[in-house]
Amino acid sequence: MTSRKSSMFCLVCAAVLAANISPATADPQTLDEKITVYCAAKGKSDQCRVEQTSAAQAQQRRFVKAFQSKELGVIADIARCAKVNTTGDGIDYVAAQECFEEKNRAAEGPH
């Protein structure tokens, strides 16, 4: 039952992510528009858009890799980080990427 519940959660995660960062369903124009709106709402400059776009693209690549490898835990972590870094203005992709990287470091443990 637990694995089925986790699978359902990750399907929901994937659906949420697909709408926000998956290149398979979100064309770059839509993502660019979301980032532009987010940065404008925060009163930030072009540098904000550059940083947000770079972080979003990194998340897209990791999401696709995880999806192809069926790494459900990674997909869930990406989704959780996107969710906790979403406000009424949109997703802070930089913060979401930092959150995801922190989860990866914690999972790897001390070297």
Convert the pLDDT of each residue in 5-49 to its tens digit: 444 445 555 555 555 554 444 455 688 888 998 999 988 888 999
Q: What is the pTM of this model?
A: 0.69
Question: Over the stretch 48-101, which tens digit does the pLDDT of each residue have?
Answer: 999 999 999 999 999 999 989 988 888 899 999 999 999 888 899 999 999 999
pLDDT in the model for residue 25:
45
- Distance CA(46)–CA(84), nearest Å, equals 24
Cα 21 from Cα 91, distance rounded (Å): 10
* Helix boundaries (H) for 2-109: 2-20, 28-41, 46-69, 72-84, 93-108
For residue 44, the 8-state DSSP code is -
